[in-house]
Amino acid sequence: MPRIGAFVCWCGTNIAGTVDIEQVVQAVSEMSGIVYVKDYQYMCSEVGQNLVKTAIKEWQLERVIIASCSPRMHENTFRKAAKAAGLNPYLVEVANIREHCSWVHKNKEEATKKAIALIRAAVAKASLNTELIAKEIDVENRALVIGGGIAGIQTALDIAEAGYQVDVIEKSPSIGGKMAQIDKTFPTLDCSACILTPKMVDVASHPNINLYTYSEIESVNGFVGNFEVTIKQKARSVNLEKCTGCGICTEKCPSRKSKSEFDEGLRTRGAIYTPFPQAVPNVPVIDREHCLKFNTGKCGICEKLCPAGAIEFGQEDVLVTKKYGAVVVATGFDIIDLDKFGEYQYQNHPDVLTSLEFERLTNAAGPTAGKFIRPSNNKRPEKVVFIQCVGSRDVSSRGKSYCSKICCMYTAKQAMLIKDKYPDIEVYVFYIDVRTPGKNFDEFQRRAVEEYGVNYIKGMVGKIFPAGDKLIVHGVDSFTGDTLKIEADMVVLAAAAQAKPDAEVLGRKLAISTDTNNFFTEAHPKLRPVETHSAGIYLAGACQGPKDIPETVAQAGAAAAKVIGLLSKRKLVSNPCVSVVNEDLCNGCLSCLKICPYDAIAAKELATNNHGITSKRIVAKVNEALCQGCGGCTVACRPGAIDLKGFTNKQITAEVDALCH
């Protein structure tokens, strides 16, 4: 029996409030193998860690049990402390008596009993622990950023500036994302394009950044430091190197039926098009669905006119496989479909717009060249109604239960922009609550009300009736209880932000999890906001949850810092808890090989010498660099020849026995 020392943490009153520490210490000291028990208020503090280190040396401890918070919180802290005292870090076991005990139980007697049982299980496991030595793995010195919006752009620039190679994948033909569509940004009313486009140019011209536009992730393999990603470059039908971006092809294209994605469908575009004039790369793409050449075989005008000979109808999708050390997911958000919100007439009336459409409508580079007119009759509206929380904070199945966070501010901004240019237009805003936390945000919204005279009405809109060329908005002012009828010329809906529809699929490829709303989940809501549970994969921007531009940029910088930290390491320490084959027991059935998701198991020929007769047989062999330690093979193994280090059959059985004490 090894010499075991146990350390019981009070965690202030977090544990000591519900668990009788004295009783626990008494019970633990009687367990077999225990030679030393110590309790302290905060084991994780420097003093607490020193207690552990000193005891290891003074009592020649061979195993250490820490009864404290979750191992997800401080296992590493104590492993490091043990290592500093000369003990193999994998001889430390943590009994989770906070999250799994004191915080979930109220009865002190029961909680104390359970804490003792959990420590008994940890002692049982620890006495079977063996010294494990982590191996070193190489780190590929390149990062991948998925998504070319402001989050991806900022992340890529920050990583590239630190001297590492970055590849940026963007699904659409140009980088820029949602921010490129926006007219002005709150709360400073900066022109969005003026602050974004220089960054886009920086990305394109940076020697360390490589752009893959009009591309998607096909598959992701590997693990931290060594991801192998296959990128599908969709056929652009235009040669990126040859094209000069003169724009003749886009002007002369006879097909004009497709709606411009960039202008939210408010304008049509040709089948060969550049999403917007400042696009990066400024190279058009052929929309094969609408191109006459691809549909009828006739036309080919662009090919004839192109002075650079860049049009290539024969292009095909190309698959590129590259290795990366780290991946940042920055895929952004979408706004919800409004087809379930029939009462707002969005589908039926051209003057009912989403906020994003409104951005294009007021943009100087937009479909109306910045003239504020109604899409139905090209006249200037006299009354505009904004409706907030369309689908946000909506617990019915048609909406989203969360607050989309950005709508209060952009609605105030849009209302203010109207009043600034056209003070005579009456502007109404229907809201549930105005939520404006953020630097200078509340002041901004108040300016809209106090300086610009925007009419804020607390209440929801019941229905909108089109009458002639007017939209009659029926709403309720919930302060007075009055029903209101506003004859509006234009209605703008602040539709809820939602996760990208393909977020789940991408999450699956990357093996990162999504929450109930399909936003990617961070590793810890407070302390690890940009990391995922998969090491080496980070999050930036609205793909993790709705957020505004400053927050997105901050998170992008944080993700970049994490990536730089990872890539700056020449070697990574690998998880030593990997599978190991007992060759004497292995019968070579290779069931393990078939189920290993990492191809970490291979067949190996073993020559045995039996009284001078050499015979050969096949056994399984684990590649420790590839094995991630899931343990699936251990259960598939019929003769029980494979075991998982750190979670051996004996260890888990001992834990079961101890818990059923």
Partner 1 sequence: MSLKLEEKAISSKQQFEPLIVAFCCNWCSYAGADLAGTSRLNYPANIKIIKVPCSCRVSPNFVLRAFQRGADGVIIAGCHPGDCHYSTGNYFTRRRFTLFANLLEYVGIEREKFKIEWISAAEGNKFATVMNEMLDSINKLGPSRKLRDGRWIRQQ
* Residue 85 phi, psi dihedral angles, 5° rounding: -90, 10
Q: Which member of 6, 61, 121, 384 binds partner 1 (CB under 8 A)?
A: 121
For partner 1, the closer CB: 230 or 315 = 230
Please pick, from the candidates 42, 59, 103, 313, the single residue that binds partner 1 as defined by CB under 8 A.
103
From the list 414, 534, 552, 574, which residue makes contact with partner 1 (rule: CB under 8 A)? 534
- Phi, psi for 38 (deg, rounded to 5): -145, 140
Q: Token pair of 246, please?
A: 């003169």
Q: Distance between CA atoms of 465 and 463, rounded to whole angstroms?
A: 7
Nearer residue to partner 1 within complex by CB, 508 or 571: 508
Instruction: Answer yes or no: are the C-beta atoms of 161 and 122 closer than 8 Å.
Output: no
Quick one: angle between helices 355-362 and 407-421, nearest 10?
Answer: 30
Judged by CB under 8 A, which of 107, 244, 347, 348 binds partner 1?
A: 107
Full strand arrangement of the beta sheet holding 215-223: 215-223, 226-233, 318-324
Task: Estimate the crossing angle of helix 21-29 against helix 108-126, to 10 degrees.
Answer: 30
**Beta strand 165-169 pairing with 184-185:** unpaired
Query: What is the residue type of 244?
Result: T
Radius of gyration (Cα) for the chain, nearest Å?
31
C-alpha to C-alpha distance for 106 and 103, rounded to whole angstroms: 8
Binds partner 1 (CB under 8 A): choice among 172, 268, 521, 591: 521
Candidate segments 116-124, 319-327, 373-381, 384-392, binder of partner 1 by CB under 8 A: 116-124
Considering the complex, state which of residue 143 and residue 633 has its C-beta at the smaller distance from partner 1.
633
Q: Which region, judged by CB under 8 A, interacts with partner 1, from 111-119, 156-164, 368-376, 428-436?
A: 111-119
| CB 640, min distance to partner 1, A | 9
CA 175 to chain centre: 19
Cβ proximity to partner 1, 169 vs 644, nearer residue: 644
Whether 658 contacts 117, CB under 8 Å: yes
End-to-end CA distance of the chain: 19
Which residue in the set 173, 507, 536, 546 belongs to the binding site for partner 1 (CB under 8 A)? 507
- Closer of 611 and 661 to partner 1 (Cβ): 661
Does the footprint of partner 1 cover residue 516 (CB under 8 A)?
yes
List the x/- string, 54-83, binding to partner 1 by CB under 8 A. ----------------xxx-----------
Number of residues that bind partner 1 (CB under 8 A): 53
Nearest to 659 by CA among 42, 36, 63, 116: 116
Q: Pick from 105, 242, 470, 604 the residue near partner 1 by CB under 8 A.
A: 105
Among 106, 439, 570, 611, binds partner 1 (CB under 8 A): 106
* DSSP secondary structure letters along 395-417: -STTS-SS--SSHHHHHHHHHHH
111 binds partner 1 (CB under 8 A): yes
- Please identify, using beta-carbon distances, which residue of 252 and 533 lies nearer to partner 1: 533
Q: Specify the residue, 533 or 604, whose C-beta has the smaller distance to partner 1.
A: 533
Window contacting partner 1 (CB under 8 A); options: 38-46, 177-185, 296-304, 512-520: 512-520
Contact set for partner 1, span 596-655 (CB under 8 A):
597-598, 628-632, 634-636, 644, 647, 649, 652-653, 655
Q: Where in 155-287 does DSSP place strands (E)?
A: 165-169, 184-185, 190-191, 209-212, 215-223, 226-233, 258-259, 268-269, 272-273, 285-286
Stretch that binds partner 1, among 208-216, 328-336, 402-410, 595-603 (CB under 8 A): 595-603
* Cβ within 8 Å of residue 245, ≥6 positions away: 274, 281, 282, 283, 284
Residue 136 or 657: the one with the smaller Cβ distance to partner 1 is 657
CB of 600 to partner 1, least distance (A): 11
Residue 113 near partner 1 by CB under 8 A? yes
Beta bridge partners of 92: 64
Judged by CB under 8 A, does residue 376 bind partner 1? no
Query: What secondary structure does DSSP assign to 123-144, as a single string?
Result: HHHHTT-----PPEEE--SEEE
What x-and-dash track marks residues 18-57 binding partner 1 by CB under 8 A? ----------------------------------------
CB 330 within 8 A of CB 155: yes
CA distance 167 to 189: 32
Q: Is 470 in the site for partner 1 (CB under 8 A)?
A: no
Please list every residue from 553 through 592 that binds partner 1, using CB under 8 A. 577
CB closer to partner 1, 118 vs 464: 118
Helix spans in 503-547 (H): 503-510
- Scanning 344-440, the segments in alpha helix (DSSP H) are 355-362, 407-421
* Cis check: omega of the bond before 466, within 30 degrees of 0: no
Which 279-298 residues touch partner 1, going by CB under 8 A?
A: none
Least spacing, CB of residue 601 vs partner 1, in Å: 14
Contacting range for partner 1; rule: CB under 8 A; set: 31-39, 311-319, 345-353, 507-515: 507-515
- Whether the CA torsion 516, 519, 524, 525 is positive or negative: it is negative
Task: Closer to partner 1 by CB, 399 or 629: give it.
Answer: 629
Q: How many CB atoms lie within 10 A of CB 657?
A: 12
* Shortest Å distance, C-beta 121 to partner 1: 7
Helices and strands of the chain, counted as H and E runs: 18, 34
Is there binding between residue 230 and partner 1 (CB under 8 A)? Answer: no
- 305 class by beta-carbon count within 10 Å (0-12 exposed, 13-18 middle, 19+ buried): middle
For the record, the structure tokens of 222 come out as: 């590997």
Nearer to partner 1, 452 or 647 (CB): 647
* Residue 453 touching partner 1 (CB under 8 A): no
Q: How far is the CB of 71 from partner 1 (least distance, A)?
A: 7
CB of 104 to partner 1, least distance (A): 5
Of 117-125, 245-253, 435-443, 447-455: span binding partner 1 (CB under 8 A):
117-125
Strands (DSSP E) found in 496-582 = 497-499, 537-539, 571-573, 579-581
Closest CB to partner 1 among 613 and 660?
660
Angstrom distance (rounded) from CA 476 to CA 660: 62
Largest separation between any pair of C-alpha atoms in the chain: 104
419 lies in the site for partner 1, by CB under 8 A = no
Contact status: 99 vs partner 1 (CB under 8 A): yes
The total number of residues shown for the chain amounts to 661
Which stretch of DSSP H or E encloses residue 610?
strand 601-610
Q: Residue 511, interface with partner 1 (CB under 8 A)?
A: yes
Cβ nearer to partner 1, comparing 47 with 505:
505
Q: Does 513 bind partner 1 (CB under 8 A)?
A: yes
Question: Measured from the CB atom, is 364 or 656 closer to partner 1?
Answer: 656
Amino acid at 623: N
**Least distance from partner 1 to the Cβ atom of residue 628, Å:** 6
Q: List contacts with partner 1 (CB under 8 A).
A: 70-72, 96, 98-101, 103-107, 110-111, 113-114, 117-118, 121, 507-508, 511, 513-516, 521, 533-534, 577, 595, 597-598, 628-632, 634-636, 644, 647, 649, 652-653, 655-657, 659-661
